[in-house]
Amino acid sequence: MNLKLLAIAALLISGTASADSTLRCGNSLITVGDTKFELIMKCGEPIGAKNKEIIVVNEYGMRMAVIKEELIIDMGNDRLIGLVSVVDGVITSIEDGPRNN
């Protein structure tokens, strides 16, 4: 299991997974713009997470540091793993990771 998480973390860092805008959890869809709360309610707790500080420019042109969470969502056996980025509690990107065997 730890080897799988390590491989997924490497994908998160490298950014080689294909970009997508939705993630299906059972009968529910998660899309960019949804909240982290909605993600957890529909898909369950992430199996892994990584936080990193990024610099963003706000609407007034001021630079500020925010935390970007990179979450790993287990979609079940023989399904793709979801890689979800969250900034300020809002989903900013969704990518397909490797297939979960």
pTM: 0.72
Q: Residue 69 and residue 64: Cα distance in Å, rounded? A: 16
> Is the Cα dihedral 14, 18, 21, 27 positive or negative?
negative
Q: What is the distance between the alpha carbons of residues 71 and 34, in angstroms, rounded to a whole number? A: 14
Residues 11-58 have pLDDT tens digits of 554 444 445 688 888 899 999 999 999 999 999 999 999 999 999 998
Domain ranges (residues) in the chain: 2-100
Measured between alpha carbons, how far is 95 from 18 in angstroms, rounded to an integer? 6
